[in-house]
Chain A
Amino acid sequence: MGPSTSLKRLRDSASAHSRVPEGGTDSRRPAVQSVRAPGARPSRPPSGRARAGDPRHSAPTLNVGRVTALFCAFAVFFFTPFATAHAKMSAGFNRLLDAVVRIDVREWSIDEGARRYAASIGSGVILSGDGLILTNAHVVSPRAVEINVTLANLERVGATLVGWDHWTDLAVIRIDMEEVRRRGLVFAHARFGDSDDLFPGETVYAVGTPHGLARTVTRGIISNNRRYFEDTTGVRGYETGVFNTWLQTDAAINPGNSGGPLVLENGDVVGINSRAYVGADNLGFAIPASTARRVMADLVKDGKIVRSYIGISPAPLQDLETFYSLKQNTGVLIDNADVGSPAAKAGIRGGDILLAINGERVDGRFPELLPPIQNRIASLPVGTSVRLTIKRGEQQSDYTVVTEKLESRHGEEWVFEKWGLSVQKVSRAYAREHQFPDAAGLLVVGLQPGFSAALSGLAVNDVVTKINQQPIDTLEAAKKAYDAYVEHPGTILVEVNRNRNVTLHVFKP
């Protein structure tokens, strides 16, 4: 591995800690960084004068910073062997380093209309003596076919997926303890800290495997402890960030840091690093431990998290209090009530103001106040009756809404290899967004050139509605038709809805 710019810079950060071995690590460069998360550009190196744990030197002015950074990159390149650290880290921090792992995942993926395999690298942190590891949902997903964990002592061991939650971008895997016992392996486990106590400016460290560089420690501060960030396709096409705010940090977070911990100087895990702005400097984001701890417990218990849905899109009330004649710090603006949702059925509509949930006042003045409110509804058991106090014009009244199970807009995917066709079940949310009358049908997401689906004129984003005159309401219906085709290949008629147009296609063997 030749010394690239990014490598130099990362080493600089790593030099703060002498425990990070320089040789004998995984020198394999990450293949394609298929993990979606963190930013691509390496962060600006910290001041060369600064020592680990000394925040006084960590914020030079911009110009000084540039000069220092240049010098630093230069200096590090030539004098790395001399740039050893002097400060010792706490016992808790050292223990944390022994609990951070590199995760290599091999998973199936969809490439056009074919099923392929892809490999990626991420990070994780062991949080229990029985080998439970917390990582990002975009690092390990249910598509994983092989998960390998590299422990801090460079031993490699297999792992399996325990649970997955894209809404919070968290996943839990478990080390193969049988193998651990058989080989007599040892590892440490970290502990959660309290992310609610964090304050902007507090020193934090990110530990992980950026660009495959295992056990990289970077340092920064909490830049914002309650950042609002929502993305409808943020985790492998699935929604994320609706139910939690994020910790923002300037500790360098790069592709491969995903799933690694954000920790305090005592080694307490206060967040799980998961994303960064691509092309920006030092704008990294972590899921706070308060969320992670809860989600991890649920995932370990059930393997998944079932949430409640009522179908309102809240928006901040910022600047609209006067218009709606509201007291300060009261209410959430309802931008939209999904058509056919429990809220819409109860009579709630866009432009209403939500004042209270079950009698308890809500304040949604700013965007970052919305995820906890969303989470309050989502955390209710499915089928619960919720009393929403709504203000409409001058009128105020209560609406009772019965929650439904929350579904992702990203439907289940499948590949029909002989047709060269990959599809995604049309979800209720997708159907609603595209104003389909219902959620029947399969969305075409990939086509392999030269195969029957592509030859018949099918196109990506078509919705398959019928096969041989039989309605395709579910993925199972299509699988049945496919199996019949595989058994007796013949000509079949496929009906498609293409941007409101019905088109007919013939698949030939």
Chain B
Amino acid sequence: MRLPRFAARVSAFLFLFGLFLRVAAAAEPLAELWRERVKSVVAVEFYVELETERRPNITGGLVLDREGTIALGGNAIPNFLPPSQLKDFRVYRPGHPSTDYGQAEYLGYDAVTGWHYIRVDSAFRANLRPITDFVVAGAAAPVVADEVWGVGMRGKDEDFEPTFLSSRVAVLLTLPQRSAIALGRVAAPQLPVFDRTGAFAGVGLAGYGESYFQYSRTERGSPLLLVSGDEARVFRLAPEVLPYLGRVPANVYGRPAAWLGIMGVQAVPPDVAKFLNLQEQSALVVSEVLEGGAAEAAGMKERDIVVAVDGKPLPRLKPPQVAPSWLEREVALRKPGDVLALTVLRGTERIELRPRLQDEPRTLREADRQYFDRLGLTVREFVFVDVVSNRIKLAERTGVIVHYVKPNSPSAAAGLRAEDWIREIDGVEVKTFAEAAAKLIKLENDQARTEFVLLVSRSGETSVLRVKLR
């Protein structure tokens, strides 16, 4: 009899103690939770170096691990910029003197998370805490009306001072990842959001458009849409983020990258879906099937309507415009060589296709390029997107593309424009980037030359341009 009583006492004690711990945990002041969690946040500064200028950029970063990996938002760096133009990454701790920073290297972009990654030098890592430290296993995802809070950040002149933001969840949407829209601002873009207990709840995405009317003494109210660029009302929920934290690119170009080879994927609007007897699901029209791509090899035709992936109908997504990125994600989650089973509607027929994904053809970011200051232009290698945008066959690829024209330079005066396709230099066909670059280097260095002639192609029409060097 004694033993059970003792056991009962102990368990009662343990129960009470546990209760006390829980209460204590819950009672930990938000300010304290916030101070601790600010360590998973950094400010990142870098330059985009262009032909004639350097553009400084500042963005927020999320610390992913103890190896100093930091994720930047997809919007922080335009995807067409080659990594060689991203310079001098510096990492700052919010609220610490901005003279004290760590150097970081650019790691690349991942299509699934939509993030760019950098890695800060080892000396600086000790100051940081990865966001995974605040992941609570089994923590319930926030629901409508739940209180959430997060971290914002001031400017560089204020030492990137962290700010506390909090709000409640107003609505949950699938965009196509599960995301929440809060009543007010909850975090800076790319900075974390937490629930009341301090468990990681998501990552800030962007502001949310709000309509306002602007009045003045002389004008009647005119409608205005305001979106905060500094602080986000929309955040992506933790379960959509956590499984992919390990997707750090193996190289700056994010290779290998799975590629289906289709273009202009458009969501079918609901009334059209109804007309096509596609109820309770999304559907996607494929505008173009690209030459040499996986889709073409599998027999996909332009205007095919994708209705299912791996035998499962597309979920019904709201707004319909998010459906194309749902398919993009399905592709990005796979590897070259994987099969993506698609069910398409062609006329009234349902057709099963099994495209085997390929590695994406050389991209704009990977294209060779060279700047010629005296001539006033940058040319770059002709890559796959140029085949597509010039509407030619793969076999017709030749020449180089004008990437940049320096204002008021000889090239600009000749009427050359970015995206012009150079076919001939001085009446001689240039087939490859190397050929073109060699010719242009000669022209650049030949001080005796007074002019040269280009044959360029611009939206399907050719034009002869004379570039006067003096």
A positions within 8 Å CB-CB of B: 313, 315, 319-320, 323, 333, 335-339, 349-351, 393, 432-435, 456-457, 469, 491, 493, 495, 497, 500-506, 508
Contacts and interface: CB of A to CB of B under 8 A. Distances in A.
B453 A320 contact: yes
A351 B269 contact: no
A265 to B, nearest CB: 44
Contacts of A351: 424, 427, 455, 462, 464
13 contacts: A323-B453, A333-B464, A335-B462, A350-B461, A350-B463, A393-B427, A432-B460, A433-B460, A435-B391, A469-B347, A493-B272, A502-B266, A504-B266
Nearest to B287: A502
A350 B287 contact: no
Contacts of A435: 390-391, 459-460
A315 B271 contact: no
Given A350-B457, A500-B287, A502-B303, 16 more contacts: A315-B464, A320-B464, A320-B466, A323-B451, A335-B462, A336-B461, A337-B462, A351-B455, A456-B271, A495-B303, A500-B264, A501-B266, A502-B264, A504-B269, A504-B272, A508-B271
Contacts of B70: none
Contacts of B391: 435
Given A320-B453, A351-B455, A336 B466 contact: no
Contacts of A504: 266, 268-269, 272, 285
B288 interface: yes
A497 B287 CA distance: 8
Contacts of A349: 462
Nearest to B468: A319
Contacts of B424: 351
Interface string B244-274: 0000000000000000000110101101100
A503 B463 CA distance: 33
B271 A350 contact: no
B300 to A, nearest CB: 13
Contact of B275 (A315, A457, A493, A502): A493
B436 to A, nearest CB: 16
A500 B262 CA distance: 12
Contacts of B347: 469
Interface string B428-469: 000000000000000000000001010101011111101000
Given A336-B463, A493-B272, A350 B455 contact: yes
Interface string B178-192: 000000000000000
B320 to A, nearest CB: 11
Given A350-B462, A433-B460, A435-B460, A505 B455 contact: no
Nearest to A350: B462
A249 B226 CA distance: 53
Interface of B: 263-264, 266, 268-269, 271-272, 275-276, 285-288, 302-303, 347, 390-391, 424, 427, 451, 453, 455, 457, 459-464, 466
Contacts of A323: 427, 451, 453, 466
Contact of A502 (B276, B285, B427): B285
A456 B453 CA distance: 49
Contacts of B451: 323
A508 B275 CA distance: 11
Contacts of B285: 502-504
Contacts of A503: 266, 285
A297 to B, nearest CB: 34
A501 B302 CA distance: 10
Contacts of B275: 491, 493, 506
B462 A501 contact: no
A246 to B, nearest CB: 24
A315 B271 CA distance: 51
- Best-surrounded residue of B303, B451, B460, B466 (most CB of chain A within 10 A): B460
The 3 nearest A-B residue pairs measured at CB: A350-B462, A501-B264, A502-B287
Given A315-B464, A350-B464, A351-B424, A502 B272 contact: no
A335 B460 contact: no
A406 B288 CA distance: 31
A365 to B, nearest CB: 14
Contacts of B455: 350-351
A339 B276 CA distance: 38
Contacts of B263: 500
Contacts of B269: 457, 504-506
A319 B464 contact: no
A501 B287 contact: yes
A313 B347 CA distance: 41
B423 to A, nearest CB: 8
Given A323-B453, A336-B462, A502 B268 contact: no
A209 B276 CA distance: 59
B466 A500 contact: no
B289 to A, nearest CB: 11
A335 B303 CA distance: 36
B138 to A, nearest CB: 44
A506 B274 CA distance: 10
B402 to A, nearest CB: 16
B279 to A, nearest CB: 15
Nearest to B392: A435
B106 to A, nearest CB: 32
A506 B463 contact: no
A336 B272 CA distance: 42
Contacts of B427: 323, 351, 393
A63 to B, nearest CB: 34
Contacts of B272: 493, 504-506
Contact of B460 (A319, A339, A456, A508): A339
Nearest to B391: A435
Nearest to A392: B427
Contacts of B463: 315, 335-336, 350
A338 B463 CA distance: 11
A313 B424 CA distance: 18
B468 to A, nearest CB: 8
A506 B302 contact: no
Contacts of B453: 320, 323
A456 B272 CA distance: 9
Contacts of A508: 271
Contacts of A502: 264, 266, 285-287, 302-303
Contact of A313 (B288, B459, B461): B461
Contacts of A337: 462
Given A504-B269, A504-B285, A433 B264 contact: no
- Best-surrounded residue of B288, B302, B457, B462 (most CB of chain A within 10 A): B462
Contacts of A313: 461
A509 to B, nearest CB: 13
B288 A500 contact: yes
A435 B392 CA distance: 10
Nearest to B456: A350
A503 B391 CA distance: 20
A221 B287 CA distance: 58
A413 B427 CA distance: 42
A454 B466 CA distance: 46
A493 B269 CA distance: 12
Nearest to B348: A469
A270 B288 CA distance: 55
A337 B457 CA distance: 11
A433 B462 contact: no
Nearest to A500: B264
A434 to B, nearest CB: 8
B141 to A, nearest CB: 34
A180 B96 CA distance: 95
